Amino acid sequence: MLNVLIARHGQSEWNQLGRWQGRADPELSEFGLRQAAAAAMHCGAFDAIVSSNLLRASHTALVISEATGVGPVLIDDAFSERDVGAYQGLTRAEIDEQYPQQLEAGILPEGWENDQLVLGRVQRGLETLRHQCRNGSVLVIAHGGVIYAIERHFGLGYQRISNLEGRWLHHKGTSWNLGERVALTQNNSSESQELML
């Protein structure tokens, strides 16, 4: 069986500011670096570590890799964050000001990458993993939008995910099965912790 834990990166500088990130590439905040170090102490044993190409994910993965001795980190842009289009770089207040009532109405902005597109590339990434690592456990450091798309694919409703929380996927036989959500660190309670994409 192949077990894959897809986890959200540590807090980024834009998470701290409450800015929607999408494909923007801010670094980890100081708190995010501490989260990554704490996650390395609690994440358990993995045979490989894979990361999105974005800095907030790859830096989180590197901290965990260096602390656990599992590496090198493999970079795969299949696990990159969803493109959030015109919302990128904006705070919730700025979105409400520039696009009144769109968030409440569920109206997505121009350039938004829908779940089908996200799942298409994530499935390609998972198939690559399956061919490279037929058995064992792999940690993938990715993004909230990736995890939400996977969960909706399996019929789950939206539930906010904190930095360095993740969702297990298990492959046995011919299909992927959804496992439980887990926290890689107990230290997810920053006063500035925002959960923007």
Domain boundaries, the chain: 2-183
Q: What DSSP state is assigned to residue 112?
A: B
What integer is the mean pLDDT of 121-128?
A: 96
* 3-state secondary structure at position 136: strand
Tell me what pLDDT residue 192 has. 39
12 CB burial (10 A radius; 0-12, 13-18, 19+):
buried
Q: What DSSP state is assigned to residue 187?
A: -
Would you please indicate which residues are annotated as catalytic (active-site) residues?
Answer: 9, 81
Tell me what pLDDT residue 141 has. 98
Which residue has better confidence, 129 or 133?
A: 129
What integer is the mean pLDDT of 48-69?
A: 98
What CATH number labels 2-183? 3.40.50.1240
Angle at 97 between CA 95 and CA 98, to 5 degrees: 65
Tell me what pLDDT residue 187 has. 52
Q: Compute the chain's Rg from CA coordinates.
A: 16
44-48, 75-79, 130-134, 154-158: least confidently modelled range: 130-134
What integer is the mean pLDDT of 74-98?
A: 97
Tell me what pLDDT residue 96 has. 96
Q: Can you name the residues that pair with 178 across neighbouring β-strands? A: 169
* 3-state secondary structure at position 58: helix
Q: Say if strands 136-142 and 2-8 run parallel, antiparallel, or are unpaired.
A: parallel
Tell me what pLDDT residue 156 has. 97
Residue 130's alpha-carbon distances to 2, 18, 97, 177, in angstroms, are 7, 35, 45, 13
pLDDT over 80 at 145, yes or no: yes
